[in-house]
Amino acid sequence: MSFLNTIYGWRTKVFVWIGLPVIAAIGLMLSVTDLAPAWEAKNGGGTPGTFTAVNEECGRRNCEWHGTFVATEGGAQRADVILYDAPDELTAGATAPALDSGARKGVFSTAGGSTYLLVTGLTVAGVAALVAWVWIIVRAIRNRRRATEPTAPPASFAPSA
């Protein structure tokens, strides 16, 4: 029995036709643009500079510092950026060394952290959901085509008169 023939329940249909595309879209939209910058910062790449903490925004599970980044060389500045992997002792008005590797919304602490793992996990989940969804669609189309193909009459070995 084919995998697609086991998709009967409405919950499974909702997951396959709505859940997988949503997981793929969210995973890819939130992470693909920041994947390379996160790994670059993890490996010490990017423009070094100083992050000055302005305010801390906290959600249910985590807090993130927003502030200003000023590059060490050239003085390029980015305002209202997030400091990923911020040190625990950071306070409003304090500074921390950071790297700007081109992430959309922020810069990375030079102290290191696990943001690169989170971004990588989101990207892998998005790609896996997209591949699974496309595979299911292709299989469904193939199975429908097979079901509508006319069957050939059986070959007869009887002598014709």
Query: What pLDDT score does 89 carry?
Result: 86
Query: What pLDDT score does 1 carry?
Result: 45
Report the length, in residues, of the chain: 161
Eight-state DSSP code of residue 102: -
Phi, psi for residue 96 in degrees, rounded to 5: -145, 145
Cα–Cα distance measured from residue 85 to residue 99, given in angstroms and rounded to the nearest whole number: 11
Query: What pLDDT score does 52 carry?
Result: 93
Cα–Cα distance measured from residue 107 to residue 84, given in angstroms and rounded to the nearest whole number: 6
Query: What pLDDT score does 158 carry?
Result: 63
Cα–Cα distance measured from residue 23 to residue 25, given in angstroms and rounded to the nearest whole number: 6
Query: What pLDDT score does 3 carry?
Result: 53
Cα–Cα distance measured from residue 148 to residue 8, given in angstroms and rounded to the nearest whole number: 20
pTM of model > 0.85: no
Query: What pLDDT score does 63 carry?
Result: 86
Q: Which element (helix H / strand E) includes 61? A: none
Predicted confidence pLDDT, tens digits, the chain (161 residues):
455 555 557 777 788 788 888 888 888 888 888 888 889 888 888 889 999 999 999 888 888 899 999 999 887 889 999 999 888 888 999 999 999 998 888 999 998 888 889 889 989 999 998 998 888 888 888 887 777 776 666 666 666 65
Helix (H, G, I), strand (E, B) or coil at 159: coil
Cα–Cα distance measured from residue 52 to residue 79, given in angstroms and rounded to the nearest whole number: 10
Q: Which of 102, 58, 54 is nearest to 79 (CA)?
A: 54
Q: Which element (helix H / strand E) includes 98? A: strand 95-100
